[in-house]
Amino acid sequence: MYVYHNTENDSILNIKHIYAREQLIQKLKHRFSTYGYREISTSVFEKYKLYATMNGTVNQQEMIKTIDNTGEVLVLRPDVTIPLTKQLAQKQPKLHKDLRYFYILDVYRQKNSTKDYEQFMQAGVEYFGNGSYEADGEIIALAAHVLKELNVGNFTIELGHAGFFKQLISEIRIRKEDFAELRRFIQGKNIPELERLLERLALPEQTKKIINNLPLLYGKLDDVIAKTKELPLSEALHDKLDDISAIYDVLKSYDVAEHIVIDLSLINHMDYYSDIIFQGFIERIGKTVLMGGRYDTLSHHFGAEFPAIGFAFDMDLLLAGCSLQKDFVIPPIDIVIFYDKKEEKRAISLAQQLRERAYHVLTYVKTDETGHIPDATAVVTVSDGSLSYRDSTREATVQTEDELIQRIENIWEEA
């Protein structure tokens, strides 16, 4: 979501969007909680220093900076995983018990070369202290579970291994500039340019063969494994494949394997990922709605040592994927009560009773000027000592409040 430079945030009055987003937040909170994840929050203001010393994470130019009255440079929360890991590491360098956290928070960026500030909501989970395949499986299955129950239609989670490319590179000698290009071409499945670059580089033929095939080592696990059989992979590279297979087995137990494809050319721009990485796509939405992976080495930056894995949804994209559904459409006002001024006490007490029962109710003194009154499903009139009910298909007059409430409850139950 863009917040433009010179204008007010145009989402402030967008009640439909805010309602739908709140529904989504509630669904996510509920699902995360059922897996034992507990909600946390991080500060909006963070020290720039924290990010300035960590290369290959958040682009430093993209962070929105501010200066406090002591001259300290601060940034508006550009990321959640890093400050969370830092705080945890400072509290307890070794974890004695596993920790499962979730968050639903805004992060702030200013994209390169634009003047637009970007504020976007992330919903993420982090699982600290457990480095097992089962922990990997739990996290990925949780992402799939959420997408499944949101009925977003066809979705795919691509599974790769950050260690695969890192291992491959560690086996060869390559200049820094060439490495950057190589990485970019693999990431972009840029097969023509990749071939050209490899022709130019002095690398062992075996490595070239593997790299050339990387972009299309994509698909169902069995197919990808079959293709890798024809490649001269080192034992260390085979180990990475074994990691993927083991996690895939766990995902079968969760019954979500049909949504998983393997992509060995998957490389995340966040350098802190150390092992399994994944990203999710849903039909009709052209961008990555979820990203995650294992980052066991991030805690080392802060003098601690604990395994960790997590992911985050981009809430705007996720919302775009499910905003057409009934659950996300703002409900109408149920009832407007019109009353004679002398019946005010009775009318308002009726309104309160209905509100206690969760109906959305408005009250107005009866008047001829109705143009300013919002639309509602039904109209109740308290006038001349009687109560009348009217909606698009029926009309009735009753004597007591109890009778009216009973009638309304019956009608709403039918609908």
Phi, psi of 203 (to 5 degrees): -120, 155
**Residue 193 touches other proteins, criterion: CB under 8 A:** yes
Burial label, 100 (beta-carbon count in 10 A; 0-12, 13-18, 19+): buried
Identify the residue among 101, 155, 311, 389 touching other proteins (CB under 8 A): 155
User: Residue 114 or residue 386: which is nearer to other proteins going by CB?
Assistant: 114
DSSP-derived secondary structure letter, 58: S
Least distance in angstroms from the C-beta of 389 to other proteins? 48
CA geometry: angle 201, 203, 208, nearest 5 deg: 95
Least distance in angstroms from the C-beta of 169 to other proteins? 21
Contacts of 211 (CB under 8 A, 6+ apart): 168, 182, 186, 194, 198, 203
Least distance in angstroms from the C-beta of 275 to other proteins? 21
Alpha carbon of 159 to those of 151, 208, 267: distances in Å? 21, 23, 10
Least distance in angstroms from the C-beta of 281 to other proteins? 4
Least distance in angstroms from the C-beta of 188 to other proteins? 6
User: Residue 158 or residue 401: which is nearer to other proteins going by CB?
Assistant: 158
Beta bridge partners of 290: 280, 313
Least distance in angstroms from the C-beta of 181 to other proteins? 11
Binding window for other proteins (CB under 8 A); candidates: 70-78, 148-156, 322-330, 355-363? 148-156
**Residue 200 touches other proteins, criterion: CB under 8 A:** no
**Cα 358 from chain centroid (whole Å):** 30
Task: Show contacts with other proteins in window 91-120 (CB under 8 A).
Answer: none
CA geometry: angle 104, 105, 110, nearest 5 deg: 140
Least distance in angstroms from the C-beta of 255 to other proteins? 20
Burial label, 29 (beta-carbon count in 10 A; 0-12, 13-18, 19+): middle
**Residue 232 touches other proteins, criterion: CB under 8 A:** no
Identify the residue among 26, 61, 154, 325 touching other proteins (CB under 8 A): 154
**Residue 190 touches other proteins, criterion: CB under 8 A:** yes
Alpha carbon of 312 to those of 7, 124, 290: distances in Å? 29, 4, 6
Task: Show contacts with other proteins in window 243-302 (CB under 8 A).
Answer: 261, 281-288
Identify the residue among 7, 69, 192, 413 touching other proteins (CB under 8 A): 192
Least distance in angstroms from the C-beta of 362 to other proteins? 41
User: Residue 281 or residue 328: which is nearer to other proteins going by CB?
Assistant: 281
Tokens of 271: 């350098």
Rounded Cα distance between 277 and 295, Å, is: 9
User: Residue 191 or residue 398: which is nearer to other proteins going by CB?
Assistant: 191
User: Residue 128 or residue 281: which is nearer to other proteins going by CB?
Assistant: 281
Contact yes or no for 183/168 (Cβ under 8 A): no
Task: Show contacts with other proteins in window 205-224 (CB under 8 A).
Answer: 215, 218-219
Q: Binding residues for other proteins, per CB under 8 A?
A: 154-156, 158, 188-193, 215, 218-219, 261, 281-288
